[in-house]
Amino acid sequence: MTQEKASQICIVTVTGVDKVGIVAKLATVMARANINIVDINQKILEDTFVMTMAVDVAEAAIGMDKIKTHLDRVGKNMALKITIQDENIFKAMHRV
Amino acid sequence: MRISVEEVYETVRMTLDHHFDIRTVTLGINLKDCIDRDIAPLTQRVRERIVEKGQLLNRCADQIVQKYGIPITNRRVAVTPASLLLEPLPKTKATVVRFAKALDAAARKADIDFLGGFGAMVQKGTTAAEENLIDAIPEALSKTQRICGFLNLASTHAGINMNAVAKMGHILKDLADRSENGIGCAKIAVFANVPEDNPFMAGAHHGIGEPDYSLNIGISGPGVVRNIVAKNPDCDLTQLSEVIKRTVFKITRAGELIGREMAGLMGVPFGIVDISLAPTTSTGDSVAEIIEAMGVGQIGSPGSTAALALLIDAVKKGGAMASGNVGGLSGTFIPVSEDEGMIRAVRDGTLSLEKLEALTSVCSVGLDMFAVPGDTPPEIISGIIADELSIGVANNKTTSVRIIPAPGRKAGDILHFGGLLGSAPVMKVPGVSSCRFVQRRGRVPSPILSLRN
């Protein structure tokens, strides 16, 4: 029997203009919700700042709808588009 | 390997900027076991089942949208063809209308915007109950809001039921006269070779070969395909087909995942993914604009049919690689009123009814959501239907007609339906009637290609 807890990875995507404090704000939201950040990447794509953050929501203290509300608030305050989606949608679309 | 930033960004842009969505999740529901010799117990059993499963469909769809962040635009229900359920009941219009109203009330209670299956399979002949249902269509559809009708009037195996085709000219005129701008006719499609698992309205129904329940899903991404075509302005057509295939592969995989998970959540079998490209009136979500991005000046001009054939072939190849459950219509929809590029082309005179018919010979869904003058005689409407269905019969494919004879309007007028249904320029129809052909009635025999055993 494995001792590992099942993980449920979601990808948070931030698009817009890079500025100070994006990671800090998102990390605060995640920490408060007991969500572990697994990985962070960022790039400039087609002149747009794109950051992806892989998070594990398996142990999250709040539901997806609440997480979305918090992320929407951060997005609104910082003029960014923020989405959160289960990782499997990307795996289905981009991995054969 | 973890998903890269580029891959995530591609998916996110598809939904945020290019209108990629799950156009519909449609739950097929078998109602055959509700049949009764009394209408009251029939309607009660039907109502209970539709309300229960319809509400479950909405709840599960909300959960899936939360999880995957891909919008599910419509949640719909398709049922066993109503004519079967009405077989043992009195052959009166009142019975049919009462049943339609019961379906409508159930859909409203379950918060389902459209419920399909109010129709019949009459490709070879018509039973008394089916005849009665067809006669009651104008009243039933004009007195309900959410019910959609379909009739299969032809098949490659049976030929064309010209008695029913001749009748439908009158039925559609009557239905049009009961609604503003004839919009009631948007709720009914007539078919050749209708699929039993099509999730798209108005033609959806739960065919008799289907299990008790079946969750079918329609994906749609004309905006996504248009974007990828526009990004490749100079490649040759073979390469263009490849990039379309790759894009359709991705959106089909998303549809397959969401469909399977929805079906699992609901505890019903997963049916099919319909990969049809379905346009909407939103800017950029147009099939005509894909054709134009391919290099055709305007849809309807020479080259359009070839471009559309290439597009659909690439869509099918990409979709078939992505899912073993591709089904339904799985072609490309070119409804005139719901596609900005189509509306423009008709208004500019580039796209005529005749060219539209030619386009449908390589496009699965047929003549869709187009308006004709209100004084078009029933026999000409029947002639248009017969022509379109014969394309389906002779080519062993699905074709359909959703025609709007707009009362009091003439060619060149623009009808505004609003919302999802868009607006339609009234198309010119040749004034010379073929009523003697239509009035011969009988059955157009099935083509030789039906003898395959």
The domain limits of chain A are: 9-94
- Both B166 and B251 in a single domain? no
- Both B253 and B172 in a single domain? no
What is the predicted pLDDT for the residue at A96? 82
Between positions 38 and 67 of B, the ones with CB within 8 A of A are: 66-67
CA angle B30, B46, B202 (to 5 degrees): 65
Name the domain count of chain B. Answer: 2
Report which of B36, B55, B37, B56 is spatially closest to residue B46, judged by C-alpha positions.
B36
Does residue B418 lie in a domain region?
Answer: yes
- Both B113 and B234 in a single domain? no
Kindly list the residues from chain A whose CB atom is less than 8 angstroms away from the CB atom of residue B251: 93
What is the predicted pLDDT for the residue at A3? 52
Task: Tell me whether B115 touches chain A (CB under 8 Å).
Answer: no
Is the confidence at residue A11, as pLDDT, over 90? yes
Q: Within 13 Å of residue B371, how many CA atoms lie on the same side as its CB?
A: 31
Cβ-defined contact of A93 to B256 (cutoff 8 Å): no
Residue B449 bridge partners (DSSP): none
Partner residue facing A93 (CB), from B1, B2, B253? B253
Rounded to whole angstroms, how far apart are CA atoms B35 and B31?
7
Task: Tell me whether B234 touches chain A (CB under 8 Å).
Answer: no
Cβ-defined contact of A42 to B5 (cutoff 8 Å): yes
Phi, psi angles (nearest 5°) of residue B339: -135, 115
What is the predicted pLDDT for the residue at B1? 66
Rounded to the nearest 10°, the torsion over CA B6, B11, B13, B19 is 160
- Both B186 and B221 in a single domain? no
Give the ipTM of the model, two decimals please: 0.91
Is the confidence at residue A1, as pLDDT, over 70? no
- Both B290 and B406 in a single domain? yes
CATH superfamily of this structure's domain A9-94: ACT domain (3.30.70.260)
Give, for all 453 residues of chain B, the pLDDT tens digit: 678 999 999 999 888 888 888 999 999 999 999 999 999 999 999 999 999 999 999 999 999 999 999 999 999 999 999 999 999 999 999 999 999 999 999 999 999 999 999 999 999 999 999 999 999 999 999 999 999 999 999 999 999 999 999 999 999 999 999 998 899 999 999 999 999 999 999 999 999 999 999 999 999 889 999 999 999 999 999 999 999 999 999 999 999 999 999 999 999 999 999 999 989 888 888 999 999 999 999 999 999 999 999 999 999 999 999 999 999 999 888 999 999 999 999 999 999 999 999 999 997 689 999 999 999 999 999 999 999 999 999 999 999 999 999 999 999 999 998 887 889 999 999 988 889 999 999 999 999 999 988
Is the confidence at residue A5, as pLDDT, over 80? no
- Both B184 and B236 in a single domain? no
Cβ-defined contact of A93 to B7 (cutoff 8 Å): yes
Does residue B207 lie in a domain region?
Answer: no
> Is B335 within 8 Å of B404 (Cβ atoms)?
no
Cβ-defined contact of A52 to B3 (cutoff 8 Å): yes
Does residue B422 lie in a domain region?
Answer: yes
- Both B372 and B288 in a single domain? yes
> Is B258 within 8 Å of B26 (Cβ atoms)?
no
Does residue B63 lie in a domain region?
Answer: yes
Kindly list the residues from chain B whose CB atom is less than 8 angstroms away from the CB atom of residue A13: 8-9, 12
Cβ-defined contact of B9 to A85 (cutoff 8 Å): no
Domain that holds residue B36: 26-192
Cβ-defined contact of A86 to B67 (cutoff 8 Å): yes
Does residue B197 lie in a domain region?
Answer: no
- Chain B, nearest residue to A91 by Cα: B3
Is the confidence at residue A19, as pLDDT, over 60? yes
Does residue B438 lie in a domain region?
Answer: yes
Q: Cα dist. B48→B95, B204, B222, B446 in Å?
A: 19, 21, 37, 41
Q: Residue B188 belongs to a domain with what CATH number?
A: 3.20.70.20
